[in-house]
A = this chain, B = another copy of it.
C-alpha cells in the first residue's frame, strides 16, 4: 500500500542533510510552507542552498534560517522585498552567496529539470548582465539566452489537500511555485491543511499528481502526533 503520509513535521523533514539544495514555495508571504520551514530550522541541517522566489522577511521563517547561518547560497529572483533585513545584512557582509535569476527563467529552469529537458533558449535577459557568460543566440531576428535546468535535492511545498498517494490540490494563488517545484526536486515534501481519503480528490481536480510527491504532512502534525 502506498502511504506517503508523515506523522509529524519533524519526521517529514528528517531526510534533509547538510549541504542539501532545498526549493521552497512562496511569493512574498503567500504560499510559504511556514510549518515545514520551522521544522527545518529545528532540524538543524546547514550549508544549505535555498531556491525560492524571495529571501524571507523580518526575522522569522526563511529569514530566521538565514540569520542562523544555515544557508550558504540562495537562488532567487527578488531578495529585496521590504522587510528583507536579514538577507540585506548577510549580503552586504559577504556572508551569503546570491544567484539572481529572472522569475520566469527560475520557473522554466525548474520545469526543464522536472520535465527531463536539457538547456533551453529564453528571450528573457538577452543582452543584459543576466546573460553575461552565457551562450546567446539570435533566431529569426530575436535574441535568446541559453539557460540550464535547475534541480534540487528537496522541495518544501505548501499545498491544500493531499491523499495518501501524494495527490495535491492548492488553495488560490498559493498554487504558485508548487507544481513546478514538485517536479524538479528528488524528494518533495508537502504540508497540507488536510489529508483526505484516497479518491476524495476528483481525478480532474488533482493539480500535482502523487508521482511528483514523496511525503505529505498535515501542517499541524506535531512531533509524535499523526
Q: How far is the CB of A130 from chain B (nearest CB, A)?
A: 15
Once the chains bind, are A108 and B117 in contact (CB under 8 Å)?
yes
Residues 165-191 of A, flagged 1 when their CB comes within 8 A of B and 0 if not, give 000011110010000000000000000
Residue A119 at the B interface, CB < 8 A?
yes
Return the chain B residue nearest A160 by Cβ: B204
- How many copies altogether? 2
Residue A122 at the B interface, CB < 8 A?
yes
Q: How far is the CB of A123 from chain B (nearest CB, A)?
A: 6
Once the chains bind, are A139 and B118 in contact (CB under 8 Å)?
yes
Residue A205 at the B interface, CB < 8 A?
yes
Q: How far is the CB of A2 from chain B (nearest CB, A)?
A: 22
Report how far A122 CA is from B112 CA in the complex, Å.
9
Residue A137 at the B interface, CB < 8 A?
yes
Give the interface of A toward B (CB within 8 A). 108, 112, 115-123, 137, 139, 142, 144, 169-172, 175, 203-205
